[in-house]
């Protein structure tokens, strides 16, 4: 497969991208924007050689404004420049999404922004979710741009291609290769053959996804040809070809004499293996005995599909469900909490586990201050917990440290408190004879230890639950359980909780505790640090206190801060805060030109107040302070 071969098909996508609705919020340049329509605008500008900056701060100071004004796009071409504001309602100011009250507020925001640009004589183009004449917003945008003197110059296909795949750097080529290998593996694990690419193509009209699918088709054909030339077969094809062979045997009336098909860990079965099982059962009349636990289905990333387990009787046609309800590892008190937690997902199979063991306070929460050097503080907290375990259970108790990712182990090693030993074991400097093992939650499945420490209960992208978004391309070939938010992460946390024979110790940050931990404390009245409990009681559960929309936590380049920001339209609600507990909506400092009042904590008592971002201990900055309302 040559570059020219790939290049020849790219023009089709470049020419049609402006007329297609993308289903993702990622632009050709790799930015993640607020909405699909904003992505369409950004891609159109890029494809026509108009430089833009997303949410660039407005250069004029606006008296009385509580927030920094950031129009959606600032565009320039030579000396010509303009702002673009996209509004998510119709041109006639209607909406099926917003209540009359919110819509009226939205319209007031629109009118205010228009007056602002008129006052400062800054050119403004407005676009709408839909227009009275029925034409697409991109057609209107193109007309507006031409009327304002912008020249639309389509970029060369090769330039767009290189932007899409970032092939200019070797490290991205390596990542692309690894990504392609993972995609092909999952593609075949789902039972797809050569004709499957058209099926995937029909599921998306996103230019990036379709380009990748066509490239993947070339790679797949090349790979299959190489296997054939070498007279080889890979594992995925062994399963897929076996199912085809069964079909041929059925057509030839070949009789097979299997009576039972017994499958362990059925909750992790992939589509292709289910297809093989079903075909074999249909041909032979054999009974399928599937053993598994849907509460522990945690391998969707490897191709498993939990619905094949939870819908087993429906898919197989008939059968009986027998439940194993007794457990001998965990105490009844722990399994009641863990079982209640997992069954918040109504799609999980309902059951109650029974244990002969009893243990008060099976979950111990140990907090640390994550406001300064959180990694160091976390490691120190883990050492303190190990000391508590040894004090209660003695040096012979084996201890499992569970992290969400493999790199959580390096947090411990880099702290200087731990050194690495063979076979995932660690030596603690303070307790060198302690029997300590580190594992991720995934790798700990099926194992049991005397006591368990879960050490990454942080509310963040790499915390627990993990909030990393799967690439849209990989979603085409993996099952995503949407029965409840973070459905698989919930099951993974259940696995982590139930690895212990005695207690689970959760190491938690005071300022950014995991939503899973917050839920446990609220639902089961778990004992914890009074400061943490107060924050949880006062918290607004990761929703905006103004409009109840979800909050997103990310770095905002305009403020230079990590902020909790409302995901509602900014014209309706522009709430943002740097402190999830105090609920303090940040606003412009009334005393200085470019400062903002954010929530700060007093050192002596952790009390909160508003303070200017331009504060300086030398006294030369803006030391404006204000009590929190």
Domain 3-158 annotated CATH 3.30.160: no
Mean pLDDT value across the chain: 84
pLDDT digits (tens, 9 = 90+) for 173-194: 667 777 888 888 888 887 788 8
The yes-or-no verdict on residue 18 having pLDDT over 60 is no
Q: Are strands 435-440 and 398-403 parallel, antiparallel or unpaired?
A: parallel
* Residue 545 neighbours by CB under 8 Å, 6+ apart: 575, 583
pLDDT band at 535 (very low <50, low <70, confident <90, very high): low
pLDDT band at 16 (very low <50, low <70, confident <90, very high): very low
Q: Topology of domain 235-316, per CATH?
A: Rossmann fold (3.40.50)
- Identify which has the larger pLDDT, 179 or 118: 118
Q: Which CATH class is domain 332-538?
A: alpha beta
pTM for the predicted model, two decimal places: 0.61
The answer to whether the 235-316 and 332-538 domains have the same CATH topology is yes
Tell which residue, 601, 423, 388, 417, has the closest CA to residue 507.
Answer: 388
Q: Which helix (H) or strand (E) holds 553?
A: strand 551-556
Sheet with 124-130: list strands edge to edge.
51-54, 73-77, 80-90, 124-130
Domain boundaries, the chain: 3-158, 235-316, 332-538, 551-627
Q: Which residue has the tokens 């909790």?
A: 564
Per the CB < 8 A criterion, the answer to whether 403 and 409 are in contact is yes
* Residue 511 neighbours by CB under 8 Å, 6+ apart: 369, 370, 371, 535, 580, 581
Per the CB < 8 A criterion, the answer to whether 520 and 526 are in contact is yes
> How many CB atoms within 10 Å of residue 201?
15
- Of the listed ranges 161-175, 444-458, 467-481, 610-624, the one predicted with least confidence: 161-175
pLDDT digits (tens, 9 = 90+) for 196-251: 888 888 887 777 788 888 888 888 888 888 888 888 888 888 888 888 888 888 88
Q: What does the block give as tokens for 509?
A: 């940050």
Q: What is the pLDDT of residue 24?
A: 52
Q: What is the pLDDT of residue 530?
A: 67
Tell which residue, 169, 100, 166, 87, has the closest CA to residue 131.
Answer: 87
Per the CB < 8 A criterion, the answer to whether 566 and 544 are in contact is yes
- Of the listed ranges 152-166, 182-196, 293-307, the one predicted with least confidence: 152-166
To the nearest 5 percent, what fractions of the chain are helix, strand and coil?
Answer: 40, 20, 45
Q: What are phi and psi of 382, to 5 degrees?
A: -60, -40
Q: How far is CA 149 from CA 40, 52, 453, in A?
A: 21, 16, 63
Q: Which residue has the tokens 């049991």?
A: 448
Q: What is the pLDDT of residue 132?
A: 93
Q: What are phi and psi of 600, to 5 degrees?
A: -130, 160
Per the CB < 8 A criterion, the answer to whether 518 and 541 are in contact is yes
Query: What angle do helix axes 157-165 and 207-229 make, rounded to 10 degrees?
Result: 80
Q: Are strands 124-130 and 80-90 parallel, antiparallel or unpaired?
A: parallel
Q: Are strands 504-509 and 451-454 parallel, antiparallel or unpaired?
A: parallel
Per the CB < 8 A criterion, the answer to whether 133 and 139 are in contact is no
């Amino acid at each position: 497969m040559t570059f020219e071969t790939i290049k020849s098909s790219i023009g089709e996508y470049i020419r049609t991208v402006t007329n297609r609705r993308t289903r993702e919020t990622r632009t050709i340049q790799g930015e993640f924007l607020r909405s699909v329509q904003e992505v369409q605008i950004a891609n159109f500008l890029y494809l026509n050689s108009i430089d833009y900056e997303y949410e660039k701060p407005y250069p004029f100071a606006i008296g009385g404004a509580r927030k920094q004004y950031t129009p959606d796009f600032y565009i320039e071409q030579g000396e010509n420049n303009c702002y673009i504001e996209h509004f998510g309602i119709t041109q006639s100011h209607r909406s099926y999404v917003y209540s009359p009250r919110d819509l009226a507020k939205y319209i007031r925001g629109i009118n205010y922004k228009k007056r602002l640009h008129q006052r400062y004589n800054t050119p403004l183009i407005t676009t709408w979710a839909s227009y009275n004449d029925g034409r697409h917003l991109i057609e209107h945008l193109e007309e507006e741009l031409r009327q304002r003197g912008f020249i639309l110059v389509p970029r060369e296909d090769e330039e767009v291609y290189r932007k899409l795949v970032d092939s200019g750097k070797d490290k991205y080529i390596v990542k692309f290769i690894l990504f392609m290998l993972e995609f092909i593996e999952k593609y075949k694990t789902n039972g797809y053959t050569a004709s499957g690419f058209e099926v995937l193509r029909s599921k998306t009209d996103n230019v990036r996804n379709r380009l990748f699918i066509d490239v993947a088709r070339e790679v797949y054909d090349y790979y299959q040809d190489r296997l054939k030339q070498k007279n080889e077969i890979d594992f995925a094809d062994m399963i897929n070809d076996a199912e085809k062979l069964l079909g041929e045997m059925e057509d030839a009336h070949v009789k097979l004499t299997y009576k039972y098909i017994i499958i362990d860990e059925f909750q992790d079965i992939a589509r292709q293996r289910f297809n093989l099982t079903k075909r074999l059962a249909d041909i032979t009349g054999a009974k399928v005995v599937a053993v598994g636990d849907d509460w522990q289905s945690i391998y969707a990333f490897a191709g498993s599909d939990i619905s094949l387990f939870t819908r087993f009787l429906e898919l197989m046609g008939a059968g009986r469900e027998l439940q194993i309800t007794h457990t001998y590892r965990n105490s009844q008190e722990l399994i009641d909490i863990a079982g209640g937690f997992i069954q918040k997902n109504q799609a999980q199979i309902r059951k109650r586990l029974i244990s002969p063991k009893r243990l008060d306070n099976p979950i111990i929460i140990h907090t640390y201050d994550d406001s300064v050097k959180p990694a160091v503080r976390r490691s120190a907290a883990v050492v303190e917990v190990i000391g508590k375990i040894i004090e209660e259970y003695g040096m012979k108790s084996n201890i499992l440290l569970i992290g969400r990712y493999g790199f959580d182990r390096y947090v411990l090693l880099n702290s200087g408190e731990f050194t690495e030993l063979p076979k995932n074991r660690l030596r603690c400097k303070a307790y060198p004879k302690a029997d300590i093992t580190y594992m991720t939650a995934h790798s700990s499945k099926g194992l049991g230890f005397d006591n368990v420490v879960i050490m990454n209960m942080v509310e963040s992208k790499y915390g627990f639950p993990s909030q990393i978004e799967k690439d849209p391309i990989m979603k085409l070939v993996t099952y995503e359980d949407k029965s409840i938010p973070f459905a698989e992460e919930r099951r993974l946390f259940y696995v982590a909780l139930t690895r212990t024979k005695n207690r689970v110790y959760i190491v938690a940050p005071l300022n950014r505790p995991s939503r899973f931990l917050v839920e446990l404390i609220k639902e089961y009245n778990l004992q914890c640090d009074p400061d943490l409990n107060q924050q949880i009681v006062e918290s607004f559960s990761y929703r905006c206190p103004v409009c109840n929309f979800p909050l997103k936590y990310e770095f905002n380049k305009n403020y230079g801060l990590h902020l909790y920001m409302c995901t509602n339209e900014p014209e309706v609600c522009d709430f943002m805060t740097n402190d999830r507990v105090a609920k303090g909506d940040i606003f412009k400092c009334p005393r200085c030109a470019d400062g903002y009042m954010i929530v700060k904590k007093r050192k002596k008592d952790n009390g909160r107040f508003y303070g200017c971002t331009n504060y300086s201990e030398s006294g030369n900055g803006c030391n404006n302070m204000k009590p929190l309302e």
